[in-house]
Amino acid sequence: MARVTERNRPEEKAFAPEYQGALGALSVNSSLTEVLAKGTAELRAAERSGDHVEMARCGLAVGEAYRRLGRVAEADAAWKASYRAARSARDTGAMAWALWSGGTLARQRGSLALAYRLLGLAAEMGERGGAVMARSYSLAGLAETGRIQGDYPAVAALHERLLDEARARGEARHTVWALEGIAQMHRNTGSYDRALALFEEAAETAGRADDRRGRAWALRGIADVVSVRDGDAERALSLLTEAESLCREMRLSSALAYNHKMRANVHYRAGQYALARDTYARALAEFREMDEARGTALSRLGLAKSLARLGRNPARTAVELASVRRALDRIGLRHARDMVDRAADELGVGPLPDAVSRTEEPSEAVG
């Protein structure tokens, strides 16, 4: 890694610290299919040679590729194997990275308590082993988990601190992540102008650093704000189309599904309910395929609202919304109840019952 200076700090090219050892030359923009193929080949070579350090490093990349492709069972097996290899090698830093991967997967699957536990262990182990990047990424994972739960007071300062640290080290990728997280909190609390400025800064920073994944997420954020604040569906959909091309290029399954959910949000806000229904259904299928509990529940919510606008029976809408609320409660999203209750009020089907019996619960409920 090139030495960071004041002059090059914000513009340094993005890199992927989770690609290590024989995979260290991979770009942050390498397609996930490429990462998986090369990582699997190098992992097998390390296994044949009995090199536990290299097994841990290659296993980390393989696990992350599986996770981002939505292949959660393989991702779960890979991070655990990486941890075992790192433990055999007594490599504390590699153990921290494996735990970070496992914690990130847990959050993706909606197991937030497990995510907190694994990411907390990863941060401690990174600190103990002097693995600065593993510690930083693990703290970021903790911050993101809290943000997803809606616990902004608890994580806002951590986001700001991690942004300062990333900028000081010239880490463009982590700078982009922190900007996007802070922007999302401003967007969700109604500070749209501030959110838009931060999302735009993130997109520009990602563009300079050639961080296509970061830019795709930032464009999604910009699209969301211009749709909500300005009612500009045309611009929002154009931004999402650009972001989608980046997701497809890198085979970013989770990011692509969230892109489609946002596209559905834009259609819904514009009163295009049939388009919203079809796009929510598409995102729902994608999230289910990758066992992404949060995305599944949010897509179900959007689909229920769209179907209600298209004339669905109000009683069926109420049953589905109550089921979605239970699913979001199980994940641990603190703002879920208010979010679903607002939808019920908007659609004129509230107040919702506090529980739904198993005989009433629709087949699309999240387990």
pLDDT tens-digit profile of 286-321? 999 998 999 999 999 999 999 999 999 999 999 999
Please give the residue that has the higher pLDDT: either 361 or 232: 232
Owner of token pair 């920073």? 205
Please say if the pLDDT value at position 7 is more than 60.
no
User: Average pLDDT in the 328-350 region?
Assistant: 89
Sign of CA pseudo-dihedral 23, 165, 255, 150: positive
Nearest to 135 by CA among 146, 145, 148, 126: 126
Element (H, E) at 10: none
What are 158-211's pLDDT values in tens digits? 999 999 999 999 999 999 999 999 999 999 999 999 999 999 999 999 999 999
Q: Which residues contact 55 (CB under 8 A, 6 or more apart)?
A: 43, 46, 47, 81, 82, 85
pLDDT at 357 (0 to 100): 40
* Summary mean pLDDT of the chain: 91
For the cut 90, the answer to whether the pLDDT of residue 322 exceeds it is: yes
Helices assigned H by DSSP within the chain: 32-49, 52-68, 72-88, 92-108, 112-129, 132-149, 152-169, 172-188, 192-209, 212-230, 233-250, 253-269, 273-289, 293-309, 314-331, 336-347
In the predicted structure, residue 39 carries a pLDDT above the cut 90:
yes
> Could you tell me the pTM of the whole model?
0.89
- Tokens for 347, please give them: 């659609």
Give me the pLDDT at residue 364, please: 36
